[in-house]
Amino acid sequence: MMKPKFLLFFLFLSINVFAQNFESIKRYKVNYAVATTGNEKLLAIRSFVNNNQKYLLLVNPQTLNAKIDLANNYSLSNLAFGNVQAIFKNSVYVKVMDLALKSDRQLQNAGIDHAIPKEKGITLTIDLCPSHKNLDRIIFQSLINEFKKIEQPVPLAISVSGKWMLKHEGDLKWLKSLVEKKELDITWVNHSYNHEVNNLPLTENFLLTKNTDLDIEVLENEKLMLKNGLIPSVFFRFPGLVSDQQVVEKILAYGLIPIGSDAWLAKGQKPNAGSIVLIHGNGNEEIGVKDFIQLLKSKQIDVKNKQWLMFDLRQGLEKM
């Protein structure tokens, strides 16, 4: 029998691995491997070293859940990306990737733009593009209030850009505190590091801007997320929802699934059951925030009757 003191120590250790702030990441790279331990078969998509320990970013190909763990907890066999699709052929992960390819030529809103939840409701995605303004905390407070005793924690996805994280340490800490209090369950989505935006046409804007370095936009953002104690999910949201076929294919080759939206509220698009709703929470989209608060109010009775729920992005894609 282990002494309680030791048990507590190990409990702390295991929590620490998942919620760690990785301050000194080295050799961060795309690295595909089948990672097995016990009867668990996961896909490693990144590897890195922090304080002389080797870590992996691991994806469960069925649940789309992502986690960080020590590499030596797994037996690993390395793969080329092309083989990932063959080995995990029947998984949710590969099916959803194939689906994302169907819209890869769209200049806007490529990728997955709606989900198939088991019950009525929507998936909420909130984009945090670079901004000098404060986080619209009212979105999160309203959600927590409306779904109290119905859904706790409330699941949602936040797409975070590097430049937003660098300027909003306090807001980020506040969001993380809501996760710790089990009021929110946040899926962290990569929204690129620089989130370039200019006055040129869409074909030369956002990630399509000349000289864009995707390694910086994707991998540096993930490193910054990890430094801030956020676990990068398997999802990617294109800045401005703008991409071309080449960029979509490259994002998939990073092992990431592009997430669009069929209900960008500020653009007047109305949400249906299964919609992936988009609002901006970075202080720059007053209309979207107002529309969302209004939407919550209009659904109050449905929420109480559990006829309108918030869906985790991962679960909504399992049935695709």
Q: Return the range that interacts with Zn ion (CB under 5 A); candidates 63-71, 123-131, 172-180, 299-307.
A: 123-131
Q: State which residue, 38 or 201, has the beta carbon closest to Zn ion.
A: 201
- Closest to 265 in 3D by CA, of 251, 281, 245: 281
Task: Please work out, in degrees rounded to the nearest 5, the angle formed at the alpha carbon of residue 65 by the alpha carbons of 64 and 69.
Answer: 130
Q: Does 129 bind Zn ion (CB under 5 A)?
A: yes
Q: Return the range that interacts with Zn ion (CB under 5 A); candidates 89-97, 129-137, 169-177, 249-257.
A: 129-137
Q: Taking the complex as a whole, how short is the minimal distance between the CB of residue 275 and Zn ion, in angstroms?
A: 18
Q: Does 285 bind Zn ion (CB under 5 A)?
A: no
- Closest to 121 in 3D by CA, of 296, 290, 253: 296
Contact 227, 50 (CB under 8 A): no
69: Cα separation from own chain's centroid: 18
- Closest to 130 in 3D by CA, of 281, 278, 288: 281
- Report CA-CA distances (Å) from 249 to 100, 111, 164, 188, 223: 9, 10, 26, 21, 22
What DSSP designation does 39 have?
A: T
For residues 100 to 119, the per-residue mask of contacts with Zn ion, x marking binding by CB under 5 A and - elsewhere, is --------------------
Q: State which residue, 84 or 263, has the beta carbon closest to Zn ion.
A: 263
Q: Return the range that interacts with Zn ion (CB under 5 A); candidates 124-132, 150-158, 177-185, 256-264.
A: 124-132
Q: Does 127 bind Zn ion (CB under 5 A)?
A: yes
Q: Where are the beta strands (DSSP E) in 86-152?
A: 121-128
> From CA 313, how far away is CA 123, in angstroms rounded?
6
CA atoms within 13 A on the CB side of 186: 28
What DSSP designation does 183 have?
A: S
Name the CA dihedral angle for 275, 281, 284, 288, rounded to a multiple of 10 degrees. Answer: 30
Q: State which residue, 55 or 236, has the beta carbon closest to Zn ion.
A: 236
Q: State which residue, 127 or 291, has the beta carbon closest to Zn ion.
A: 127
Q: Which amino acid is at 210?
A: K
Q: State which residue, 207 or 257, has the beta carbon closest to Zn ion.
A: 207
Q: Taking the complex as a whole, how short is the minimal distance between the CB of residue 127 and Zn ion, in angstroms?
A: 4
Q: Return the range that interacts with Zn ion (CB under 5 A); candidates 19-27, 140-148, 180-188, 231-239.
A: 231-239
Q: Does 239 bind Zn ion (CB under 5 A)?
A: yes
Q: State which residue, 155 or 239, has the beta carbon closest to Zn ion.
A: 239
Q: Does 224 bind Zn ion (CB under 5 A)?
A: no
Q: Does 162 bind Zn ion (CB under 5 A)?
A: no
Q: Return the range that interacts with Zn ion (CB under 5 A); candidates 166-174, 182-190, 237-245, 246-254.
A: 237-245
Contact 222, 253 (CB under 8 A): no
Q: Does 258 bind Zn ion (CB under 5 A)?
A: no
Residue ranges that bind Zn ion, judged by CB under 5 A: 127, 129, 239
